[in-house]
């Protein structure tokens, strides 16, 4: 569908929502991309809800479930320079973008950044997954901090409703940004358990960490921890998946740096790993631990951010700032494998995309009512 086709759609039903995903870079946005894709799949066909996705030319075809409008001439990329170009492009194209969205009563920004801004008549909803830049500012460049302060914090204070993905994240937004609690909706992410096959049998002697090579993912501490654990288990290996892992530099020969892998390969790693260790220093949610649980994989996670909220009592926890503590967590996870597998399979059932969707629908309705009151 093109923008012109989007202009001529029929009269809006009870509520018409635009998913404005104009900063989307397929394959380069980690968990936020998983969230946005699942959201488009869950919103299709809901009674009283008409949803259309708007994407840049560079992300055409992303929204397989809901109708999609491609904003021709707009491209998005992963670098700070790319992002600024996208924002400039969206600003220049904003009259055309607004025309293509004019039938929509609510505009939602799943990727946080309001590109382009909604018309005055439209309610707005922002997904703000975390405020990590305020918690760990030393891990961000001055440019990235300025970008987030303007487009993350600044718009969160203006939006009719804000959606976040954990109670931890909501609490920190109230505390650090001063946003009214009633304007923030917690839509915990979900796991489609039908995608996973739980392995209840023997597992292999390796630790899995599926995470992009971002600083807060704490790869260096995990590698040091595995080196410590290898003193008792000398055949133990570490498998790393995710984008940006070249930034980690030279690695020991017992580390398997696979980078971005097909879904079928990741699912097999979840099924066969001796443990999935997640030493992140900050998470707004943390989906990989739940995906591992759905595969029967024992899990150990950091006590940072939302992770304890997500895993409950179904995982080993550790202080991610201490490689010795991480190593102890690895050893305990292997030792308690059967119990953790059983607990994880129960824990993961508490998180569904249907529940996540229902919170979004409530947020859209609240935003529309607030905007028009």
What kind and span of H or E run contains 210? strand 206-210
Per-residue pLDDT tens over the stretch 345-368: 999 999 999 999 999 999 999 999
Q: Is the pLDDT of residue 10 over 50?
A: no
Per-residue pLDDT tens over the stretch 242-286: 999 999 999 999 999 999 999 999 999 999 999 999 999 999 999
Mean pLDDT computed over 299-313 = 97
Per-residue pLDDT tens over the stretch 20-58: 999 999 987 878 999 999 999 999 988 899 999 999 999
Delimit the domains of the chain by residue range.
Answer: 3-190+352-371, 193-350
Q: What is the CATH code for 3-190+352-371?
A: 3.40.50.2000
How confident is the model at residue 80, as a pLDDT? 80
- The rounded mean pLDDT for the chain is 94
Q: Is the pLDDT of residue 109 over 80?
A: yes
What kind and span of H or E run contains 311? helix 307-311
Q: Residue 126 forms beta bridges with which residues?
A: 109, 162
The torsion defined by the Cα of 86, 92, 97 and 102, in degrees rounded to 10, comes to 140
Mean pLDDT computed over 193-204 = 95
Main-chain dihedrals φ then ψ at residue 88, nearest 5 degrees: -65, -45
How sure is the predictor about 14, in pLDDT bands with cuts at 50, 70 and 90?
confident
Mean pLDDT computed over 300-320 = 98
- Residue 128 exposure: Cα atoms within 13 Å on the Cβ side: 37
Q: Is the pLDDT of residue 7 over 70?
A: no
Topology of domain 193-350, CATH: Rossmann fold (3.40.50)
Q: Is the pLDDT of residue 314 over 50?
A: yes
Tell me which residue has tokens 């293509």: 100
Main-chain dihedrals φ then ψ at residue 49, nearest 5 degrees: -140, 120
Burial class (CB in 10 A: 0-12, 13-18, 19+), 53: buried
Burial 320-336 (b: 16+ CB within 10 A, else e): beebebbbbbbbbbbee
């Amino acid at each position: 569908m093109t923008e012109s086709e989007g202009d001529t759609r029929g009269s809006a039903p009870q509520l018409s929502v635009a998913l404005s995903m104009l900063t989307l870079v397929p394959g380069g946005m980690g968990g936020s991309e998983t969230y946005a894709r699942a959201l488009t799949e869950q919103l299709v066909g809901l009674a009283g809800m008409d949803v259309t996705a708007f994407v840049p030319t560079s992300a055409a075809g992303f929204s397989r479930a809901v109708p999609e409008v491609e904003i021709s001439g707009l491209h998005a990329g992963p670098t700070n320079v790319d992002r600024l170009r996208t924002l400039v492009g969206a600003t220049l194209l904003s009259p055309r973008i607004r025309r293509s969205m004019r039938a929509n009563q609510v505009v939602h920004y799943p990727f946080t950044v309001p590109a382009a801004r909604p018309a005055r008549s439209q309610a707005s909803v922002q997904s703000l997954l975390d405020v990590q830049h305020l918690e760990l500012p030393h891990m961000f460049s001055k440019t990235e901090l300025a970008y987030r302060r303007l487009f993350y914090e600044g718009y969160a204070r203006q939006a009719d409703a804000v959606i976040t993905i954990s109670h931890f994240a909501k609490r920190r937004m109230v505390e650090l940004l001063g946003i009214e609690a009633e304007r923030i909706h917690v839509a915990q992410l979900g796991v489609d358990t039908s995608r996973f096959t739980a392995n209840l049998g023997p597992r292999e002697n390796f630790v899995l960490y599926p995470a992009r090579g971002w600083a807060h993912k704490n790869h260096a501490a995990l590698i040091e921890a595995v080196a410590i654990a290898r003193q008792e288990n000398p055949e133990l290996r570490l498998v790393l998946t995710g984008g940006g892992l070249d930034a980690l530099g030279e690695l020991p020969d017992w580390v398997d740096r696979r980078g971005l892998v097909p879904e079928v390969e990741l699912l097999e790693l979840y099924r066969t790993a001796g443990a999935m260790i997640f030493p992140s220093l900050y998470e707004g949610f943390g989906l990989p631990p739940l995906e591992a649980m759905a595969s029967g994989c024992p899990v150990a996670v950091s006590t940072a951010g939302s992770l304890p909220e997500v895993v409950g009592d179904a995982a080993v926890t550790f202080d991610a700032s201490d490689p010795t503590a991480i190593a102890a967590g690895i050893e305990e996870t292997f030792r308690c494998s059967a119990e953790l597998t059983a607990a994880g399979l129960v824990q993961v059932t508490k998180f569904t995309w249907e529940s996540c969707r229902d919170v979004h629908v409530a947020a859209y309705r609240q935003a529309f009512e607030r905007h028009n009151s």
